[in-house]
Structure 1
Amino acid sequence: MESVVSQYPEFSCISISYWRDEEIIEKLTMHMSDVDMWLFSGQIPYGFAKKWSRITQPMFYVPSSGSSLYKTLLHIAYKQKIPFEQLSFDTLHPTELERVFLESEIASKPLYLKHYEEEILTDEVVRYHYELWKSGKTLAAVTCLKNAQYELSKLGVPAFRVLPTQSAVVSTLALILQTHETMHFKDTQIAVQMIEFDSFSSLTKDTFSTDEIYKIEIKMTEKLLEYTKKINGSLKSAGPGRFVIFTTHGLLREMTRDFTVVPDFAILQLKGHDAVTSGIGIGQTVYEAEINAGTALLHAKEFHKGASMVVLDDKTIIGPLGQPEQITYGYATKHLQALSEQTSLSVATLSKLESILRKIGKIEINAHDLAQYMSIMPRSARRILTELESKGFAQVIGEENPHPRGRPRKIYQIILKQDH
């Protein structure tokens, strides 16, 4: 892989090696701030990185394709004289392995294959090959993993490694370049951040005057100018207590850690009751970005004072930033529009609900949990669920009582079917 990458001057490569699975996360942590893209040699390190979910840069791995297997099988057949039905394989997809056998006119079918989609321990792969060899079912192992080959060889198992083909590495590099160009385009998109604060919140009955309000506005403007400088933006006033900042997608995405944390308002030195409500909009034009920022601000206000929301150019809504109940949802899908027409619920509400269910990984929820995720009152959450139940899109499947003296909470199963 390194020899192929070195042929492309567009790439600056940092080589990272590991021998034990438990080293993967440690190695990734050490270099997280040094790279723009991650290229893994195979599915195992890629799977661990994906499960860790702390990496924000795009990740790729070179697939172990059937074409890279031909050379290994040829070596085994002519030099090792090992029957193909006495080989064990890993990583490759079953249909791909069968296709290689068929195209190579191998009479037998592959009998032993350890296929996996997500992360898997190298030890599990090694154990699979070793047990087959130890029991006499196989004479050798064909692996796509460098570490597995090394461990199997120590155990005395003849192990042959399938190396990624040069064409597979080149194809993956082309995909990385394309992704980088797309990201660069997105980073240069226009971003607008609307910021709103309550000029009256800092006033007392004794100090209430237009002069005091004006002083607060001036002080806030000075602080916002300092914040605007940090994101290389430009600031304009949009009325009492409201400001608009123009910058780029990439700078705001970096400031908010890929739209997961609240923008750095520490520079404003605000008190708790002066919480800033913010809406970030991304667009192809200034007009589109400003419209999206206004929409984001309205959604932020729906959650609570001091919330920050984002509306991307594809109308996806993200937020509230920095909150554990942060969700990502859209509001323009056809099936949700159809559901909205059959209920008294808005498309935005249905979209939030759909996103929440996707986030928690199940279709069962109670009103208390729904209220927490949506930042609404429990009675409002109960109204949503009872409305869905009355129209046949939800049904009560049980109750739970977290507090012995409290009222049992109904558990609803949500069925958002378009063809209802």
Structure 2
Amino acid sequence: MKLRLGILGADDSLAIIESVTREFAELECLKIVYWKEEDIFDLIEPHIHDADLWLFSGKVPYTMVRDWGKITVPMAYVPHMGASLYRTLLHLSHQCGILVHELSFDTFSAEELNLFLEEAGIEGGYTWLKHYDGAISAEELADYHEKLWKEGKTKAAVTCLRTADLELQARGVPVHRVLPTRAGVLSMIHMLLRTQEMLHFKDTQIAVQMMEIDPFRELAGGTFATDEWQNAEIKTMEKLLRYAKHLQGSLKTAGPGRYAIFTTRGSLHNVTSDYSTVPDLEEAFGIRADWVTCGIGIGKTAYEAEIHAGTALLHAKERGPANWMVFFDDKSIVGPLGSKEQISYSSASTRRLQKVSQQTSLSVLTLSKLDSILKKRASQEINAHELAQYMQILPRSARRILIELETKGLAQVVGEESPNPRGRPRKVYRIFM
């Protein structure tokens, strides 16, 4: 099956890109030409789901679409730096007798242009440059170059934008367009293919979803005869079988009220919106969300994924019923899914946290959670109430953690906060770990 490559860019760039893509038998191309930046979203929106990869002819369309946020597959753009710019400057120098300091440039940053000229051995440097991030109008660029040319400060303009190139030509300003090279296009296509291969590998990794469901809650208000218990469990199994089929996975029991679904990372990625939310099991499969506590494990083997799922389930149960946690193959733990206070922490024992753990009565895992919370808040200061909310533990347990750190000289009270006029002031701790 061929990969679908979406290509969006100016007409002259696309001709070069297309000539390179013909060398890749595994690619099927979708070509979109744009003339005005404001048309890009309207042009690409009907094809959002028509491509596995996207390649843009320049930084402007790439940045606009990236910031738009509707494309979730791998994207890249062909850079105008390197051989592309060198070819343009060589032509200007040898064919037109124009030196670098007599030109006005756009798009490039000062840092990358200086580095390029230094590496190319071009002395003297540039004088005029208009750098911009994101989109810019052709008229604004043309005004910049035209003004310098009319004032006699430059002999020509060097632009990376096709629309600016056409606008400057229409105004009679000498302009030279930096076009992508075949080598540059080839490099970007290879990079996209490697990215796609890596993502495919991740999607096909083994994933295990370990769920604890109390089937007897369906008997609330009813009888508790053995037959009724068995019927309740059968009903739960039927619902889970439908869910497992939806995941293209297989279901097995793992003890009373505990079930394991073996599937792939990609399938769970989709139903959890990239491991950020809890899937709506009730509407589609009749499984009430508040009855399910779940741990998801990702691993290189089925055994490793199952072990990770069990560990994730233990972390979920620590936070109370109906929580979902994920244990990835890099030993990071994420969750609870669907929570505004979702955090990511590592179960791997770092030397720094091991040292702190040896100094205190706190486990490396607890310290890793705290470390992750502080990084997420971008602050080393926190009170017990906030820590309790993030960790989903009782405030007194959070206070115990902070007091333990303070006792060992790893935290210091730096102030107090009053949640309301009558409330008890909360101590604010600065953490030193």
Cα distance, 1:14 vs structure 2: 2.2
2:353 equivalent among 332, 336, 341: 336
- Counterpart for residue 335 of structure 2: 319
The 1-side partners of 2:69 and 2:427 are apart by 33
1:192–1:247: 8 Å Cα contact kept in structure 2? yes
Q: Is 2:281 the partner of 1:265?
A: yes
Query: Is the Cα–Cα contact under 8 Å of residues 394 and 413 in structure 1 kept in the other structure?
Result: yes
User: For 1:355, which of 330, 355, 372 is the aligned residue?
Assistant: 372
Q: How does 1:118-137 map to 2 (within 5 A)?
A: 119-123=133-137, 127=140, 130-131=143-144, 134=147, 136=151, 137=153
* 2:257 equivalent in structure 1: 241
Cα drift, residue 331 of structure 1 = 1.7
Determine the C-alpha separation between the residues in 1 that align with 2:358 and 2:119. 54
Give yes or no for the alignment of 1:43 onto 2:63. no
Tell whether 2:206 aligns with 1:190.
Answer: yes
Cα distance in 2 between the residues matched to 1:152 and 1:10? 39
Partner of 1:56: helix, strand, or coil? coil
23 and 216 in structure 1: CA distance in 2 versus 1, 3 angstrom threshold: farther
Q: Does 1:218 align with 2:234?
A: yes
Identify if the C-alpha distance between structure 1 residues 368 and 53 changes in structure 2 by more than 3 Å, giving closer, same or farther: farther
Unaligned 5+ runs, structure 2: 1-16
Q: Structure 2 length normalisation: TM-score?
A: 0.82
Deviation at 1:354, TM superposition (A): 3.2
The 5 Å alignment of 1:268-417 reads: 268-271=285-288, 274-334=290-350, 335-401=352-418, 403-416=420-433
Verify the 8 A CA contact 2:316 2:336 in the aligned structure 1.
Answer: yes
- What's the CA shift for 1:78? 4.2
Q: 3-state DSSP class of the match of 1:15?
A: strand
CA distance in 1, matches of 2:141, 2:378: 31
Q: Which moved more, 1:61-70 or 1:50-59?
A: 50-59
Q: Deviations over 1:165-219 (max 9, x none)?
A: 2112111211222222222222222221111112343333652333322221110
Correspondences of 1:159-174 after superposition (within 5 Å): 159-174=175-190
Contact 2:20–2:185 (8 Å) recurs in 1: yes
- Determine if the alignment matches structure 1 residue 71 to structure 2 residue 87: yes
* One-letter amino acid of the structure 1 residue matched with residue 147 of structure 2: K
285 and 92 in structure 1: CA distance in 2 versus 1, 3 angstrom threshold? same
SS in 2 for 1:289: helix
Taking a change above 3 Å as real, the CA distance of residues 307 and 162 of structure 1, as seen in their structure-2 partners, is same
* Matches for 1:90-101 after TM superposition, within 5 Å: 90-92=106-108, 94=110, 96-101=112-117
Structure 2: how far apart are the matches of 1:305 and 1:407? Answer: 30
Paired AA for residue 354 in structure 1: D
Q: 1:225 to 1:76 in 2, by over 3 A?
A: same
Shift of 1:400: 4.7
Which amino acid in structure 2 is aligned with residue 37 of structure 1? L
Greater displacement, 143-152 / 312-321: 143-152
**Contact map agreement 2:63 2:135 (CA 8 A) in 1:** no
Give CA deviations for 1:232-257 in whole Å, capped at 9, x if unaligned. Answer: 11111112111111122222222323
| Cα deviation 1:59-83 (Å, max 9, x = unaligned) | 3222333221112112333454444
1:10 corresponds to:
26
Greater shift in the superposed pair: 223-232 or 333-342:
333-342
Asked whether the equivalents of residues 190 and 283 of structure 1 are also in contact (C-alpha less than 8 Å), the reply is yes
Percentage of pairs with the same residue: 54
In the alignment, the residues of structure 2 paired with residue 346 and residue 222 of structure 1 have an alpha-carbon distance, to the nearest angstrom, of: 40
Structure 1: distance between partners of 2:69 and 2:256:
41
The 1:143/1:264 distance shift into structure 2, 3 A limit, reads same
The alpha-carbon distance between structure 1 residues 269 and 102, as it changes in their structure 2 partners (threshold 3 A), is: closer
Aligned-residue CA RMSD (Å): 3.2
Q: CA deviation at 1:128?
A: 6.9
Cα separation, 1, equivalents of 2:43 and 2:410: 47
Question: What is the distance in 2 between the residues matched to 1:64 and 1:413?
Answer: 47
Which letter maps to 1:10? E
Give the secondary structure class of the aligned counterpart of 1:109: coil
8 Å contact kept, 1:196–1:277: yes
CA contact (8 A) 1:296 1:309 kept: yes
Deviation at 1:295, TM superposition (A): 0.9
Structure 1: segments with no counterpart, 5+ residues:
none
For the Cα contact (< 8 Å) 2:107–2:131, is it kept in 1? yes
